[in-house]
């Protein structure tokens, strides 16, 4: 019986295998075709704007689309820096980003370490409180926060944009704590025997092992502060203090009532460049993704 069966499948396989192999190849080709078309679709807006930034004014909105400019206007990227105070905006933005980054990384690491390593009967309940603050949308706390900063005379300074970063964002505490829990406690113990105190353990043992998640958090912090629009819009009123986002928002380049589209394209693209570089740098860290089901159980 079983021998019969085996013979039957043996006989049947080659034909079936051939047809499935063909089918598989067709499917694979189809997959590549769809992926390539999708990739082109996702890239076209970027290509169109890059090419637009290099075109002479009359060529940007032509049909059919002229993908390669008849005459490359490289000087658009030079003019960009004289038309509006680009470097001042960049400097202002970098000040905020740098201080925010230091604060966010330092405070998140400390707090996550507290939750991951020290026993206390309030550890669990407080951690749940941390998680539940993620549910409170920013707009509920925004107005009283503004009033607090007003009392402190912090309006039209960078402090309201920097200082909150020194109190650890809930999402970062969560990600770091989950990561720290996977580091074996035996490593702490051996460092303790060597005479390290709790802070020494954090700096010498825990932090180096958390590097991938620290890089991810760092990139997020840089990107979100670089792109922040509402914060500067609420708190900054002196044009010299504007961030790059505010500068781009108010930029209305034009001559004789005509919008200088090429320049607008160029200015926007230059603003996106740091995000692109960060992405290229951190790609291998955060493309690995975050697993939902497992991570939330912790």
Partner 1 sequence: MPRFLHKTNDLEGSIMVKTRRARSLAKRESRNFWLYTSPWIIGFVAFTAFPFLSSFILSFMQWDVLSPPKFVGIDNYVQLSQDKTYFWKDLNNTLYYALIGVPLTIILGLAVSVLLSKPIRGINFYRIVFYLPAVFGGVAVLKLWTYLLSPGTGDGMNPGLINAMLGWFGIQGPGWSQDPHWAKPAVLLVGLWGVGGSMMIWLPALASVPKDLLEAGEIDGANRFQRFWRITVPLITPAIFFQLTMGIIGSFQIFMEPVIMPGSSKTWTDSLMVVLFDNAFRFYKMGYASAIAWVIFIMIMLVTLVNLYFSRRWVYYESK
Does 234 bind partner 1 (CB under 8 A)? Our answer is yes
Would you state the torsion angle of the CA atoms of residues 137, 127, 223, 148, taken in this order, to the nearest 10 degrees? 50
> Residues 76-84: contacts with CB within 8 Å, 24+ apart?
76/262, 76/263, 76/266, 77/53, 77/266, 77/270, 79/263, 80/263, 80/266, 80/267, 80/270, 83/251, 83/253, 83/260, 83/263, 84/247, 84/251, 84/253, 84/267
> Per CB under 8 A, which region of 10-18, 76-84, 183-191, 219-227 contacts partner 1?
219-227
* C-beta of 18 vs 250, nearer to partner 1: 250
Q: Which of residues 198-217 bind partner 1 (CB under 8 A)?
A: 198
Q: Which of residues 78-117 bind partner 1 (CB under 8 A)?
A: 107, 110-111, 113-115, 117
Does 281 bind partner 1 (CB under 8 A)? Our answer is no
> Per CB under 8 A, which region of 6-14, 72-80, 182-190, 264-272 contacts partner 1?
264-272
Does 20 bind partner 1 (CB under 8 A)? Our answer is no
Distance CA 283, CA 180 (A): 22
* C-beta of 47 vs 78, nearer to partner 1: 47
Among 68, 140, 193, 258, binds partner 1 (CB under 8 A): 140
* C-beta of 16 vs 150, nearer to partner 1: 150
Number of residues in contact with partner 1 under rule CB under 8 A: 94
Does 252 bind partner 1 (CB under 8 A)? Our answer is no
Cα–Cα distances (Å) from 248 to 4, 228, 245, in that order, read 77, 12, 5
The DSSP annotation for 243-280 comes to -HHHHHHH---EETTEE-HHHHHHHHHHHHHHHHHHHH
Among 63, 68, 193, 258, binds partner 1 (CB under 8 A): 63
> Per CB under 8 A, which region of 68-76, 77-85, 183-191, 289-297 contacts partner 1?
289-297
Q: Least distance to partner 1 from the beta carbon of 144, Å?
A: 4
Does 6 bind partner 1 (CB under 8 A)? Our answer is no
Does 276 bind partner 1 (CB under 8 A)? Our answer is yes
Distance CA 110, CA 176 (A): 10
Distance CA 29, CA 18 (A): 17
Q: Which two tokens stand for residue 158?
A: 């960078």
CB 77 within 8 A of CB 266: yes
Among 28, 128, 203, 211, binds partner 1 (CB under 8 A): 28
Q: Identify the CA nearest to 113 among candidates 225, 220, 209, 221.
A: 209
* C-beta of 255 vs 291, nearer to partner 1: 291
Other Cβ atoms within 10 Å of 184 Cβ, number: 9
> Per CB under 8 A, which region of 2-10, 63-71, 73-81, 179-187 contacts partner 1?
63-71
Contact string 141-170 vs partner 1 (x = CB under 8 A): xxxxxxxx-x-------------x-xxx-x
């Amino acid at each position: 019986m079983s021998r019969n069966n085996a013979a039957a499948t043996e006989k049947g396989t080659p034909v079936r295998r051939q047809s499935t192999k063909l089918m598989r190849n067709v499917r694979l080709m189809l997959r590549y075709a769809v992926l390539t078309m999708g990739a082109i679709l996702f890239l076209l807006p970027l290509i169109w704007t890059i090419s637009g930034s290099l075109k002479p004014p009359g060529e940007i909105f032509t049909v059919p689309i002229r993908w390669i400019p008849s005459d490359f206007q490289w000087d658009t990227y030079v003019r960009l820096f004289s038309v509006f105070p680009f470097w001042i905006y960049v400097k202002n933005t970098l000040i905020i980003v740098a201080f925010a980054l230091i604060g966010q990384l330092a405070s998140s690491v400390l707090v996550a370490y507290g939750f991951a390593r020290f026993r206390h009967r309030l550890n669990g309940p407080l951690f749940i409180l941390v998680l539940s603050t993620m549910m409170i949308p920013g707009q509920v706390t925004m107005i009283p926060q503004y009033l607090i900063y007003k009392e402190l005379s912090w309006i039209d300074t960078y402090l309201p944009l920097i200082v909150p970063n020194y109190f650890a964002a809930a999402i970062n505490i969560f990600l770091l704590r989950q990561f720290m829990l996977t580091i074996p406690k035996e490593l702490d113990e051996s460092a303790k025997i060597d005479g390290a105190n709790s802070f020494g353990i954090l700096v010498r043992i825990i932090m180096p092992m958390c590097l991938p998640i620290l890089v991810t958090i760092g990139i997020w912090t840089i990107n979100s502060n670089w792109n922040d629009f509402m914060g500067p819009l609420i708190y900054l009123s002196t044009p010299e203090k504007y961030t790059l986002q505010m500068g781009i928002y108010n930029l209305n380049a034009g001559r004789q009532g005509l919008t200088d589209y090429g320049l607008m394209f160029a200015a926007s693209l230059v603003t996106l460049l740091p995000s692109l570089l960060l992405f290229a740098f951190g790609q291998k860290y955060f493309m690995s993704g975050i697993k939902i089901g497992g991570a939330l159980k912790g």
